[in-house]
Structure 1
Amino acid sequence: MQEKVLHVLEFDKVKEQLIKHTSSSLGKEKVKSLFPSSQFEEVVKLQEQTDEAAKVLRLKGNIPLGGLVDVRQTVKRAKIGGLLSATELNEVSGTLYATKNMKRFIEKMVEEGIELHHLPELAEKMVVLQELERNITQCIDDNGTVLDNASETLKGIRQQLRTTEARVRDKLESMIRSSSATKMLSDAIITIRNDRFVLPVKQEYRASYGGIVHDQSSSGATLFIEPQVIVDLNNTLQQVKAKEKIEIERILRMLSDQVAENSEDILQNVYCLGEMDFMFTKARYAKEIKGIKPSINNDGIIRMYKARHPLLPIDEVVPNDIELGTDFTTIVITGPNTGGKTVALKTLGLCTLMAQAGLQIPALEESEMAVFHAVYADIGDEQSIEQSLSTFSSHMVNIVDILDKVDHKSLVLFDELGAGTDPQEGAALAISILDEVYNRGARVVATTHYPELKAYGYNRSGVINASVEFDITTLSPTYKLLIGVPGRSNAFEISKRLGLQERVIKMAKSQMTDERNEVDTMIASLETSKKSAEQEMIEAEKIRKEAEKLHKELQQQIIAFNEQRDTLFEKAEREAEQKLEAARKEAEAIIQELRSMRKQQHAQIKEHELIDARKRLEGAVPVFEKSKNAEKKEATKQHSFLPGDEVKVISFDQKGHLIEKVSDNEWQVQMGIMKMKVKEKDLLYIKRAKQEVQEKPLATVKGKDYHVSLELDLRGERYENALLKVEKYLDDAVLAGYPRVSIIHGKGTGALRTGVKELLKNHRSVKSTRYGEAGEGGNGVTIVELK
């Protein structure tokens, strides 16, 4: 990348904004040396690092980089034997503190299951030097002062220092309070000169105090005298201070040596923290410009959706869709001045540089950027007075340089290509230059005023026209880029709205060729059609999103309803099972009690009476409707379905009949007037049609399929009804294929028993009859053998 191009596209201004988000001088140094990479793998890694840092900021809000200082020079000086000051050691301690906090912060995120890659790699390289950090903080406070507790020796010296200083002050205080002090002293205060305690004595009373003169006022009227009586004490104080200085140097030397011993680890920590600071600097900047991580490709494909120029205010800039490198590799943008052509050009170029530098771009998700080996730009007024070059000449010098270097891995941006010379020649040159760059396989975007270049996009494959929209109503550009629509002149419309006479405008139009008028009309139609299509697309997208939202809400409601319903069904099933079990236990208890009574009463209670008691108890058991879940479980049991079977469709809670099998696991079912295909697992068998049963041998028909009991209980029935029931029961039993059935008529007066006996004697399906044995109910039951 050329430095000149970075300057033209204002990449340096992006770096100025980046610096505001750094946490240390390490981050600032990284930003200042930031340069777009032309290596695909490196660009991908840089983008991943920025995105990872943005993810952490999104989840955690901030990072613990407090205390970080660039201590590389300090550590290197300690490494070669230099003595570090208390302030420098404090900075080392702060950096070690930042290392410890940052490493723990990242390790905790990994433990929480947050997916990170690059930050844990850096954290793994960092070494926590907690002992060195603790040694420094125990010896030096936050202000860079060596503490008394740094050593027992220093503690003793400091105590002696305070005692001696107190004695000096006490002596001087007594002198200040004396009756003569007011007259002889310029001011009743104790001050310090040459690191010794002195009194401000008037010139004429110098002899009264004796001692040593250390200083005098500018007027000479006051002398700062160390009285003779405290000279010895001051000497003692100076000696103690000298000891203090020696001990402090010893402590600083000890700590400096420890820093030297761990210098490699500290420098490694500084490097890792600097990388992290830079990553989070880029992430904070991305948040400020509302940037996204673009997909990166090595195929020269650019797709930017609603891209904005990063240096323009978000609420003022007009976002644009820019696509390049798929169906076309060259875009020719035409349109009026101040319409936004150059902004669109710079947006593309600057976003490309940002992406290749690992910065996120101000666009919508799913945007895609390519990695180019070089970005070339000829933008702005290149007029050079010093070199006596005109605008055209300066542009051509730049273009010649570009043509010497451009290849298929280049992005080339031309602003006002061919401008500054004769229009006809300029247009011809512009076309020739575009052809040359296009034939080399580069990606090209050029802006121009020349109408000849409008036809350029139509005559060559891989080239497309574009323009910036202009609102005739407001006589101002909308700054919206229209891909596929060439720009047209708005001179006549603008002139008309500004008040130019219609006669003059008509005369001007008459000077235009018919072809030019047709082209302008066609362009106007294209603009209108594109605008209408975009508006319809926006409305359709809005409706689609609303429909998706409603669909999701409905799905959630259905799922919640089904879950609630199933929960209630399962609860009801459990309660029903509990009640049934309790009823069964009670019934068994009653039966056991009756049997016990029979034994005690010497068989006076008959077996059929026990059966009757059990039946009455079973009839008292509550019947519960099957839940959907129970039906589904029952439906999953293997059953051989046949056409005509009566079934229940579980999902619709409707009964129907099977018409035919349409596949291995699917049947056509008639439900009322409706026919539909239903999965076999969604069917619950009820019963089989009689006519189909009759086609089969009776011996193979299972009685349970028709729900016919092995016994008919007539007790309590009227005579006529009882005989009708016997007739029907015998027919059902024959159809069910039963060889033997029991008819319970009881003993009573014997009328019902006799009537049943007569009916059975003459029935066509009865082979023989007999009364039940003692264990079967005696003469209260008739056992019937069927043919």
Structure 2
Amino acid sequence: MEGKILKTLEFHKIKERLAARAATSLGKSRAEALAPSADLEQVKKRLKATDEAAAVDRLKGPAPFGGIRDVRAPLRRAELGGVLNPNELLDIANTMQGGRRLRRFLELAAEDHAIPLLSDLAELISEDRKTEESILRCIDEAAFVVDSASPELNRIRQELRTGESRVREKLDQMIRTPSVQKMLQENLVTIRGDRYVIPVKAEYRSHFGGIVHDQSASGATMYIEPEAVVQMNNRLRELKMKEEREVDKILQMLTALVAEDVPALSANLEILAELDFIFAKAYLAREMKATLPMMNDRGFLKIKKGRHPLLNPGAVVPLELELGNHYSAIIVTGPNTGGKTVSLKTVGLLSLMAMSGLFVPAEDGSQLCVFDGIYADIGDEQSIEQNLSTFSSHMTNIISILRGMTPKSLVLLDEVGAGTDPAEGSALAISILDYIHSMGSRLIATTHYSELKAYAYDKKGVINASMEFDINTLSPTYRLLVGIPGRSNAFAIAERLGLPKRIIDHARGQVTEEDQRVETMIATLEENRLTAEAERETAEGLRREAETAKRKLEEERRRFEEERGKLLAKAEQDAAAAVAKARREADEVIAELRRLSMEGVRVKEHELIDARRRLDEAVPELAPKRSAAPAKKTRPIEPGDEVMVASFGQKGTVVDIGAEEATVQLGILKMKVPVKELELVKAAAAKAKQPAPQATSTVKRTRDENARLELDLRGHNIEEAIIEVDRFLDESFLANFPQVYLIHGKGTGALRVGIQDYLRRHRHVKSYRIGAYNEGGTGVTVVELK
């Protein structure tokens, strides 16, 4: 796709918005390099990945990309034998840790929702912790090599601290001496050039032995290292050089570990960049309220309520358009300011977005095509000049389009043939459109020329379209009407604005009879369209009401079936328990008979076996028999009677009864049952009064599988953060989490202080602390819940 076309359709602005949604510089680079693809399978795969990320974002929240950095340059330097500094090593460790965290997140998400593409990418993230743990063991979160990095470094630093303490003690004793104090500018110990010195007045320089390391700007103060501490300072200098050599040694060791893992780490970075890019597409789709389009490669477009993504969603008028089925070219006619150019750009930009794997701001069910090229000649028609240079510019673009297009291309032409004599321009426009149509390319063109209305009417596969204009308000509605050519509306507008009727009638007389018939035909078509749309909206409302009623009925039937199944299951359980009890009692009787037989009572064994067989055969069927006929009733059943429903095996109370059916209350359900399946149990007058069952409820705190263990507050102010923290702690408490993490970042520390002050008073908080170095350090607060 040519860069000029992408710029004309403003695809670069979509990429800028996409890059802004990426969490890492790796993802931003991918977004900035995004380009449409002409491969249908590749486009479908891109859209599928975006769809999976959107599902994860909807069900589990934003993916965790914290800590991931672009460490490709340090990795290359390590591979070439260079030594990495502590900051670079810490970034590498944090990136490895962030990759592992992201993999766990996607694995958990895959348990609740199928995300095959994202799962495959997550599985490729390597989890070798040796290098990561070695770096974090030696370097703290402030990128400082810790004492415990090696025994030698620990020994050197202990000796260094001891030596520094001794030097300070020696100098403190000296400055407290009265004879020395009068020679000092200030009674303090300071450092110059890594050596401890004291500030001496310049006039006492000759009375004070030692080495001068610096002097004040005025020259009144000399910073002198007394002879008494020169050797001690020398020793400290030696220890500092040893410390530097040991630190270099540790950094070389860690760099060597990184160098061994460069292939795996580089592969991880590519995967993390791709995942960040995919989730950025999902976040952009959520922001634009975009949907997943269906894709094809047969030149078919069906845009349902499509919106230009760069316009205000509340003000833009949705676009309805179909192209490539019954007709392959649309000719949009009508005056300026009606929205023709915006419609062209909307079709082109939505096509580019879909071919790039992005969701499009349109309704579900929209279809877009993978074109091998999209060509556009869209100029600025707001200029009052239409001279030769403008015409030449348009022609140059059109000639380039004609050379590059194929039958699988989409061509968008704005004001084709404009900028020259109307007669010649319309003839040239018809010829150009005819050529493009004959090539089989999909075409949408706008024009002022009325001659093209007849061309679109007569040409097979070409259809007229126009932008709707409200005569009552004298303003465009910006709706594209496919199938209706544009009207000039000049006479109607002039009449409404107050032009004398005599002048308007005279003007109408100047219009040819054929043109008047065309205008009358267009007006009739528009009137019929408005009537059809009103009827369609009425039918649509009735259809929605019918669907709502159907859904309610389906839901009631489902609840009924569930309740019926529960009742049947309970009946079977009760029957099974009764049978089991009967068998136990029978076994006890038989065992007693055998005992009596052994004691001398004459009971034959075959009689015992026969008795057991008869007991087994007497076990009742557990499944309800609907065909079982009820026993004869002693009198007709009346409302209020307690009855047995033979088809369900359950007792109930008759609420109402007719000739063939009765309404029976079975527990919480009312059911219509044939009268012949009812058996009288108790008459209404003789039925004992039963206390009304008391409704009880149980509240049980369970863990919500969608709840999160961490809340990212970076970028929020304190007031916003406290609102989010309060909601998050309530959800975590209900989810029964013992501990959660609040990510506020390091920064100035104001957000951390504000959050911790709020935690001190929160009803669900048992305690809180700053995170450990492997939990995020001072950028994270760990909260223990009650």
Give the TM-score taking structure 2 as reference length. 0.72
Q: Structure 2 matches for 1:167-316, cutoff 5 A? A: 167-179=166-178, 183-316=182-315
Partner of 1:76: 76
Are the aligned partners of 2:388 and 2:419 in contact in 1 as well (CA < 8 Å)? no
Q: CA deviation at 1:327?
A: 0.7
Partner of 2:65: 65
Are the aligned partners of 1:382 and 1:391 in contact in 2 as well (CA < 8 Å)? no
Are the aligned partners of 1:186 and 1:200 in contact in 2 as well (CA < 8 Å)? yes
Are 1:519 and 2:525 an aligned pair?
Answer: no
Q: Structure 2 matches for 1:124-143, cutoff 5 A? A: 124-143=123-142
Are the aligned partners of 1:86 and 1:252 in contact in 2 as well (CA < 8 Å)? yes
Q: CA deviation at 1:216?
A: 2.0
CA distance in 2: counterparts of 1:279 and 1:252, whole angstroms: 35
Are the aligned partners of 2:388 and 2:420 in contact in 1 as well (CA < 8 Å)? no
1:540-571 deviations in whole A, cap 9, x for unaligned?
22221221111121232234345545755786
Amino acid across the alignment from 1:630: K
Amino acid across the alignment from 1:74: P
Unaligned runs of 5+ in 1: 587-625, 636-649, 652-670, 673-682, 687-787
Partner of 1:630: 625
Are 1:55 and 2:55 an aligned pair?
Answer: yes
Partner of 2:113: 114
Change (3 A) 1:531 1:228: farther
Change (3 A) 1:291 1:180: farther
Report the structure number with the largest CA radius of gyration. 1
Q: CA deviation at 1:685?
A: 15
Q: CA deviation at 1:572?
A: 7.4
Partner of 1:340: 339
Instruction: Compute the RMSD of aligned alpha carbons.
Output: 3.1
Answer with 521-530 or 476-485: which moved more. 521-530
Q: CA deviation at 1:127?
A: 1.0
Partner of 1:537: 536
Are the aligned partners of 2:576 and 2:622 in contact in 1 as well (CA < 8 Å)? no
Q: CA deviation at 1:120?
A: 1.7
CA distance in 2: counterparts of 1:570 and 1:26, whole angstroms: 57
Q: CA deviation at 1:78?
A: 0.7
CA distance in 1: counterparts of 2:268 and 2:565, whole angstroms: 58
Amino acid across the alignment from 1:146: V
Q: Structure 2 matches for 1:595-610, cutoff 5 A? A: none
Partner of 2:424: 425
Partner of 1:92: 92
CA distance in 2: counterparts of 1:580 and 1:195, whole angstroms: 94
Amino acid across the alignment from 2:201: K
CA distance in 1: counterparts of 2:180 and 2:470, whole angstroms: 92
SS at match of 1:500: coil
Amino acid across the alignment from 2:460: S
Partner of 1:13: 13
1:242-294 deviations in whole A, cap 9, x for unaligned?
01001100100000000011111111111111111111111111111111111
Partner of 2:354: 355
Partner of 2:601: none
Q: CA deviation at 1:123?
A: 1.9
Q: CA deviation at 1:165?
A: 1.1
Q: CA deviation at 1:190?
A: 2.7
Change (3 A) 1:150 1:356: same
Change (3 A) 1:383 1:448: closer
Q: CA deviation at 1:146?
A: 0.4
Are the aligned partners of 2:5 and 2:376 in contact in 1 as well (CA < 8 Å)? yes
SS at match of 2:467: strand
Q: CA deviation at 1:185?
A: 2.9
SS at match of 1:218: coil
Q: CA deviation at 1:528?
A: 2.5
Partner of 1:28: 28
Are the aligned partners of 2:60 and 2:109 in contact in 1 as well (CA < 8 Å)? no
Are the aligned partners of 2:575 and 2:622 in contact in 1 as well (CA < 8 Å)? no
Answer with 8-17 or 502-511: which moved more. 502-511
Name segments (4+ residues, structure 1) moved above 6 Å: 569-583, 683-686
Amino acid across the alignment from 2:195: R
Are the aligned partners of 1:468 and 1:477 in contact in 2 as well (CA < 8 Å)? yes
CA distance in 1: counterparts of 2:31 and 2:129, whole angstroms: 30
Change (3 A) 1:166 1:563: closer
Change (3 A) 1:237 1:424: same
Answer with 38-47 or 274-283: which moved more. 38-47
Amino acid across the alignment from 1:469: E
Are the aligned partners of 1:17 and 1:285 in contact in 2 as well (CA < 8 Å)? yes
CA distance in 1: counterparts of 2:503 and 2:351, whole angstroms: 47
Change (3 A) 1:23 1:633: farther
Change (3 A) 1:524 1:131: same
CA distance in 2: counterparts of 1:102 and 1:60, whole angstroms: 12
CA distance in 1: counterparts of 2:129 and 2:568, whole angstroms: 62
Q: CA deviation at 1:348?
A: 0.4
Are 1:469 and 2:442 an aligned pair?
Answer: no
CA distance in 1: counterparts of 2:674 and 2:88, whole angstroms: 85
Partner of 2:692: none
Amino acid across the alignment from 1:207: S
Q: CA deviation at 1:355?
A: 0.8
CA distance in 2: counterparts of 1:576 and 1:222, whole angstroms: 105
Q: CA deviation at 1:578?
A: 9.9
CA distance in 2: counterparts of 1:255 and 1:578, whole angstroms: 70
SS at match of 1:377: strand
Amino acid across the alignment from 1:46: R
Change (3 A) 1:320 1:381: closer
Amino acid across the alignment from 2:487: R
Give the TM-score taking structure 1 as reference length. 0.72
Amino acid across the alignment from 2:529: K
SS at match of 1:337: coil
Are 1:46 and 2:73 an aligned pair?
Answer: no
Partner of 1:162: 161
SS at match of 2:178: coil
Partner of 1:507: 506
